[in-house]
Amino acid sequence: MTAEHSHGPPPGSASAPLPPADVRRVACVGAGVIGGGWVAHFLARGYDVTAWDPGPGAEEKLRRLVEAAWPALEQLGLAEGASTDRLTVTSTLQEAVAAAEFVQESAPEKLELKRSLLAELDAAAPPGVVIASSTSGYPMTDMQTEAADPGRLLVGHPFNPPYLIPLVEVVGGETTRPEAVEWASRFYETAGKSVITMDRELPGFIANRLQEALWREALHMVANGEATVREIDDSITEGPGLRWAFMGPCLTFALAGGEGGMAHMLDHFGPSLKSPWTRLEAPELDAPLRDAMVEGCDEAAAGRTIAQLVAERDQGVIDVLRATGRLPRSGSAGQTPGERGAQAAQGDESGEGERRT
């Protein structure tokens, strides 16, 4: 992969990171579906982005992904000066992070690969620059063991696609510095994300654990012939999914208790709560189940290509964000990162900040 569009010299080698609002250069290491989604997001928010991925044809795939995502991002509102021309694709990892003021790692989910890659990033990135992993399940404690400065390594877990879904879960490992976690949370907020800062590590984090519980039950139903892929998807999109877009499962269940709220719901329905909890172990993902899932998804796609489904999904997410009033705040879409950072700092001073759990 070749380098294009250079944007100035490396930052100073101070041991402390820049203030989040002053960050201009972001490096994305790993440029697949998640890494490429991060690239698109940061470009749309007005950052200079360098990217590196060792896979064959990675640059072409990345630029194609960004191009496909751009119409959706234009609907959301681009930051002032945002452009795909601010993407630099490099031929080495070292080039990608040499001038970085923040690093987002999105390599495949293989623990040994993550460990060695994070150690390489730690060795190559300027001192003090925070390095975040997009891992969907590994605790940072297990990944930071080979780094010389593990204190700047943490998890910044997005949801797919990162350029549209606001959520990012931030959590450090046992040797991560608390100030690095705080810095990352503020940076993501400045970059337009909705941040949950976790106080402790949890395999799979929060949203994935909830999502995987639903996924596990879906696999059981298909494996046992109890429901088809289409029926399972329809049961969510035509049912609770409509509520979950603006009200989470806990508050939704509280409404089931009427005026008595959650207390009445638990007291009234408590005895029957466990009746559906009959399969808490994951099913065996054998060949018949795999085939049933693949065939069911092909049927549900009804001839639509992956690209068509992605476009349909993106437009649907935009429509939901618009309907629920969660498009960028008035005036913020066209702001530079620094201007958004100043606005976020004002929010912090007024008592507004990231959610913690």
Q: Which residues are annotated as a binding site for NAD(+)?
A: 30-35
Task: Report the amino acid identity of residue 133.
Answer: S
Q: Is the peptide bond before 126 cis (omega within 30 degrees of 0)?
A: no
Backbone dihedral region for residue 46 (phi beyond 0: left; psi -120 to 50: alpha; all else: beta):
left
Say how far apart CA 35 and CA 49 lie, in whole Å. Answer: 12
Phi, psi of 170, deg, nearest 5: -115, 130
Closest CA to 49 of 104, 2, 94: 104
The beta strands (E) that lie in 68-120 are given as 87-89, 102-105
Beta-carbon contacts of 278 under 8 Å, excluding residues fewer than 6 positions away, are: none
Helices (H) and strands (E) in the chain, counts: 14, 9
Q: Cβ(132)–Cβ(103) under 8 Å?
A: yes
Under 8 Å CB-to-CB from 338, ≥6 apart: which residues? 21, 22
For 27, the 3-state DSSP assignment is strand
Annotation: binding site = 30-35
Q: What kind and span of H or E run contains 132?
A: strand 131-133
18 φ/ψ angles, rounded to the nearest 5 degrees: -60, 160
Report how far apart the first and last C-alpha atoms of the chain are (Å, whole number).
41
The bridge status of strand 25-29 relative to strand 131-133 is unpaired
As beta bridge partners, residue 156 has: 170
Q: How many angstroms separate the CA atoms of 153 and 146, rounded?
A: 11
Residue at token pair 């935009």: 318
